[in-house]
Chain A
Amino acid sequence: MRTAVLRKEPSTIPAAVDTIVGVRGISKNYGNVEALRGIDLDFPRGKLTSLLGPSGCGKTTLLKIIAGLIEADAGTVTIDGKVVRAPGPERAFVFQDFALMPWATALRNVAFGLELRGRARTEREEIARHYLSEVGLAGFEDKYPHELSGGMRQRVGLARALSVDADVLLLDEPFSAVDEQNRRKFQEDLIRLRATQNKTFIFVTHSIEEAVYISDRIVLLSPRPGRVSQIIEPDIDRSGDPERIHRDKHYLDTVDEIWQGLRQYVE
């Protein structure tokens, strides 16, 4: 076992890669169910890494362990080499169900992370206004969440995560509760944000197409118990028209390759 791990290490972290989030030997059980077993992963700085796998593979659990929201039974998470066990200002979370406060306006929701950090009202609202317009919601500052569409609500959630200026953004299936048209637009926006904001993204999804479309790196997890089965780095040029990616041969091949690998868990 030990030798296997040792042999695996050099291939997953080439010396030149700058690691920001490190996951070492993470295991988690829920009662008798083994959700994660011995996960070792490195997330390179400034990249978008997807955690992809069928339901029950523990990808959301792993993300919440990295966020410090769930405690692991064994193993450690490091940010810039320091072990973390609780949520911290260097990480920001985007929730699957948006997790907006229904009694607060979009502006206050976006500013909430800064409000909790005790920043002055005018200052935090100015920052929130900036990020609301960054995600395309200028003019919606005073709307309440129920007055916004699903896609717009998630944009508020994304603006909240951006406004606290964390180095690592953790996104838990952020587009799964958003309709198809909005999802496409959102994915394009995320590619643009990744290019302009100097941040590391860790992205949980169950959609192969989505993972290949937006990711620099895809970590494939296998279920019961959740383990890393494969790491793929799709070599896709995302500089031009994002629409073009959907017809890129390499994109299509990678989607197909991952599907062949995951197929066994479905049947």
Chain B
Amino acid sequence: MTLFGYRVPMMASLLVWCLAWEIVGRLDLVFLLPPFSDVLRAVVGLVQTPSWQGATLTTLRAFVTGMTLAIVIGVPLGVLMGRVRVADDLLGMWVNIFSSAPLSALVPVLMILFGFGERTIVAAVFLFAIWIIVLDTRAGVRHISPSLIEMARSYGATRRALYAKIILWAALPEILAGIRLGLIRGVKGVVIGQLLVSIIGYGALFETFSRNFRMAEFWALTIILFAFALLIAELIERAEAKVEYYAGARQ
């Protein structure tokens, strides 16, 4: 971006918005919006409290467990759908429905099934993340050049070698893209799950802050969450860039 002929760095626009927030906050127009500097101070204070640390640990644990399950089940399911026609016909409709459905509506059902605890949060993360992983993996497997598979067969690949040495590698760019999108959806899952259960992790904190109108801390927690989601997406994007070198050169 250039302004009056000067090159403006990317993050500059963020500074402008923070400044706008600060001004609006200082004007005391809405009590919902405390000055940005107060929010920043709240972030520093918040991360030192044991309640935040405990909530973060619970949240991370639920997120990692849910994501691991989504990847471990989603990738093989996507490969199966990409390779086996019957599996695709049988499951394709459901995967498509779930990947575009408003899943938040299902979280109360999860609460009935799994109770008001961490298991519900894990299930929410899993439910939010898995479908896009399945769909992208399936697309990746579908796009593998048939001659690459014929090549492996003609040089005597066993079924196991065909999957381990050809199919997984050839579909890797799409699988990683699916996992990146899945991670972002997983963050949604963990937040929505905790908000609805509202007695554990960040959900409990959000509940406390908003009930007691502690807006600076409320926004501080939101900013931490946003930063976390961005960081994860960025990390996966880095990993994707590493495999891009061949993805762009595929036939």
Residues on A close to B: CB < 8 A? 64, 67-69, 87-89, 91-93, 95-99, 101-103, 112-113, 115-117, 144-146, 160, 164
Q: Residue B156 contacts which of A89, A95, A103, A145 (CB distance < 8 angstroms)?
A: A89
In the complex, what residues of A have CB within 8 A of residue B248's CB?
146
Report yes or no: B151 in contact with A117, Cβ–Cβ below 8 A: no
Report yes or no: B154 in contact with A101, Cβ–Cβ below 8 A: no
In the complex, what residues of A have CB within 8 A of residue B157's CB?
116
Q: Can you name 13 A-B residue pairings with CB atoms under 8 Å? A: A67-B154, A69-B154, A92-B155, A93-B154, A95-B150, A97-B145, A99-B148, A101-B148, A101-B169, A102-B249, A144-B249, A146-B245, A160-B155
Rounded to whole angstroms, the CA-CA distance of A105 and B152 in the bound complex is: 16
Interface flag for B20 (CB, 8 Å):
no
Given contacts A89-B156, A116-B161, A164-B155, whether A97 and B246 have CB atoms under 8 Å apart is no
In the complex, what residues of B have CB within 8 A of residue A102's CB?
246-247, 249-251
Q: Residue B169 contacts which of A64, A103, A115, A145 (CB distance < 8 angstroms)?
A: A103
Closest to B250 in A: A102
Rounded to whole angstroms, the CA-CA distance of A95 and B145 in the bound complex is: 12
Closest to B152 in A: A116
Rounded to whole angstroms, the CA-CA distance of A94 and B145 in the bound complex is: 15
In the complex, what residues of A have CB within 8 A of residue B170's CB?
101, 103
Q: Residue B153 contacts which of A87, A98, A101 (CB distance < 8 angstroms)?
A: A87
CB contact list, B137-157 vs A, under 8 A: 145, 147-148, 150-157
Report yes or no: B156 in contact with A116, Cβ–Cβ below 8 A: yes
Rounded to whole angstroms, the CA-CA distance of A89 and B154 in the bound complex is: 9
Closest to B150 in A: A69
The CB with the most chain B CB atoms within 10 A, among A64, A102, A145, A160, is that of A102
In the complex, what residues of B have CB within 8 A of residue A64's CB?
150
Closest to B149 in A: A99
Closest to B153 in A: A87
Report yes or no: A93 in contact with B250, Cβ–Cβ below 8 A: no
Given contacts A99-B145, A144-B245, whether A68 and B155 have CB atoms under 8 Å apart is no
Q: Would you give the shortest CB distance from B160 to chain A, in whole angstroms?
A: 11
Q: Would you give the shortest CB distance from B130 to chain A, in whole angstroms?
A: 26
Report yes or no: B246 in contact with A144, Cβ–Cβ below 8 A: yes
Given contacts A93-B151, A99-B150, A146-B248, whether A87 and B156 have CB atoms under 8 Å apart is yes
In order of increasing CB-CB distance, the 7 nearest A-B pairs are A146-B249, A99-B151, A102-B246, A113-B155, A99-B147, A93-B154, A87-B154
In the complex, what residues of A have CB within 8 A of residue B71's CB?
none
Contact bitstring B62-89, A, C-beta under 8 A = 1, else 0: 0000000000000000000000000000
- Interface size of B by CB at 8 A reads 26
Interface flag for B199 (CB, 8 Å):
no
Interface flag for B225 (CB, 8 Å):
no
Q: Residue B166 contacts which of A92, A97, A98, A101 (CB distance < 8 angstroms)?
A: A101
Given contacts A96-B147, A97-B147, A145-B249, whether A112 and B154 have CB atoms under 8 Å apart is no
In the complex, what residues of B have CB within 8 A of residue A164's CB?
155
Q: Would you give the shortest CB distance from B248 to chain A, in whole angstroms?
A: 7
Interface flag for B200 (CB, 8 Å):
no
Q: Residue A92 contacts which of B154, B165, B243 (CB distance < 8 angstroms)?
A: B154
In the complex, what residues of B have CB within 8 A of residue A95's CB?
147, 150-151
Rounded to whole angstroms, the CA-CA distance of A189 and B147 in the bound complex is: 24
Report yes or no: A93 in contact with B150, Cβ–Cβ below 8 A: yes
In the complex, what residues of B have CB within 8 A of residue A99's CB?
145, 147-148, 150-151
Q: Would you give the shortest CB distance from B229 to chain A, in whole angstroms?
A: 29
Rounded to whole angstroms, the CA-CA distance of A101 and B169 in the bound complex is: 9
Rounded to whole angstroms, the CA-CA distance of A116 and B172 in the bound complex is: 20
Rounded to whole angstroms, the CA-CA distance of A67 and B156 in the bound complex is: 11
Report yes or no: A91 in contact with B145, Cβ–Cβ below 8 A: no
In the complex, what residues of A have CB within 8 A of residue B155's CB?
87, 92-93, 112-113, 116, 160, 164
Contact bitstring B233-251, A, C-beta under 8 A = 1, else 0: 0000000000101111111
Given contacts A97-B145, A99-B148, A103-B172, whether A91 and B154 have CB atoms under 8 Å apart is yes
CB contact list, B161-177 vs A, under 8 A: 161, 165-166, 169-170, 172
In the complex, what residues of B have CB within 8 A of residue A91's CB?
154
In the complex, what residues of A have CB within 8 A of residue B148's CB?
99, 101
Rounded to whole angstroms, the CA-CA distance of A99 and B155 in the bound complex is: 12
In the complex, what residues of B have CB within 8 A of residue A68's CB?
154
Report yes or no: A88 in contact with B250, Cβ–Cβ below 8 A: no
Rounded to whole angstroms, the CA-CA distance of A117 and B251 in the bound complex is: 26
Closest to A89 in B: B156
Rounded to whole angstroms, the CA-CA distance of A38 and B150 in the bound complex is: 25
Rounded to whole angstroms, the CA-CA distance of A117 and B161 in the bound complex is: 10
Q: Would you give the shortest CB distance from A217 to chain B, in whole angstroms?
A: 23
